[in-house]
Amino acid sequence: MRVTHIYHSGFAVELPACTLLFDWYKGELPQLRRDLPLVVFVSHEHYDHYGRCIWPLREQFSNACYVLDKDVAADAPADARVTAVEPHASYELRLPAAPGAAPTTLSIQTLESNDEGVAFLVRAGETSIYFSGDLNSWQWRRPADQNAASEKFFRTELSRIASGPVDLAFVPLDPRLKDPAAGIAAFMDVVGARALFPMHYWDDADTARALMTDARLAPYAGITHFEDVCELPDPSARPA
């Protein structure tokens, strides 16, 4: 399993049976296998999460399809294979079989963002992936009650998926915030992850890395990934 950080909140997750692309709007895509189904996820329509660069992918990948927040779905070309999603819903997406493999079904659960759009919990075979989009504990420099409300909203949404740690978690770590570590700390407290990928830090990766010295995040340093390309074992090979 390979995870590539493209830019900001854009990631490609290459699994044995399919490739998942999350919130890509800028940056060069890695060399992805053309013989695997490609599923393009967009959490919401903010310019730093959605770009029209996703639409030519349906011409480059014969098995490309899209899982899009409903507002983004409204912008889709007529011939695109689109699943439009809303918060607090579940979807199943049956993908064509990869060479030498059985057809794959993605199970997708959505959460409501406290900014715009949705967050995704995706299950592909034995692999579980959480992608936050702009759902977060947004601790801005503003009245304390507004920050407390953001924290409460985030934790309440996460409680909908708190059945155990996910394999991969993509969660904002935005240096612009008054308390950037709050979101990851809350996620690890409520849900947990085996591999953690901070995101939403723009070009400020050095500052984001330094934030991992926060006492709430330091225990997760060994599972946190800032590298451009990360190779991880297939969860199907994990001991029972």
* Per-residue pLDDT reduced to its tens digit, 153-193: 999 999 999 988 999 999 999 999 999 999 999 999 999 99
User: pLDDT tens digits, residue range 192-230?
Assistant: 999 999 999 999 999 999 999 999 999 999 999 999 999
Pick the more confident residue, 61 or 99.
Answer: 61
pTM to 2 decimal places: 0.97
Sign of CA dihedral 227, 4, 117, 194: negative
For residue 240, the model assigns a pLDDT of 54
- % of the chain surpassing 70 pLDDT: 98
Stretch 5-34: mean pLDDT: 97
Q: How far apart are CA 189 and CA 41, in angstroms?
A: 26
pLDDT of residue 238 exceeding 70, the answer is no
How much helix, strand and coil, in percent to the nearest 5, is found in the chain?
25, 30, 45
- The per-residue pLDDT for 216 is 98
Length of the chain (residues)? 240
Q: For the chain, which domains are there? A: 2-225 (3.60.15.10)
* Among 175, 160, 163, 180, residue whose Cα is nearest residue 207: 175
Q: Which residues contact 42 (CB under 8 A, 6 or more apart)?
A: 23, 49, 50, 54, 66, 67, 68, 69, 72, 117
For residue range 133-149, what is the model confidence (pLDDT) as tens digits? 999 999 999 999 999 99
Q: Summarize the confidence of residues 102-130 as an average pLDDT.
A: 96
Which residues contact residue 221 at a Cβ distance below 8 angstroms, ignoring those fewer than 6 apart?
A: 212
Contact 93, 203 (CB under 8 A): no
**DSSP string over 2-57:** EEEEEETTEEEEE-SS-EEEES--SSPPP---TTS-EEEEE----TTT--GGGTTH
Confidence of residue 101 (pLDDT cuts 50, 70, 90): confident
Torsion angle defined by CA atoms of residues 46, 9, 63 and 103, in that order, rounded to the nearest 10 degrees:
-120
Is residue 181 within 8 Å of 216, Cβ to Cβ? yes
Region 15-27 average pLDDT? 96
Give the residues across from 107 on adjacent strands. 92, 123
3-state secondary structure of 98: coil
Chain centre distance of CA 205: 18
Task: For the chain, give the mean pLDDT.
Answer: 96
Residue 164, pLDDT score? 82
Euclidean distance between CA atoms 215 and 203, whole angstroms: 24
Where residue 103 falls among pLDDT bands split at 50, 70, 90? confident
What pLDDT band is residue 51 in, cutting at 50, 70 and 90?
very high
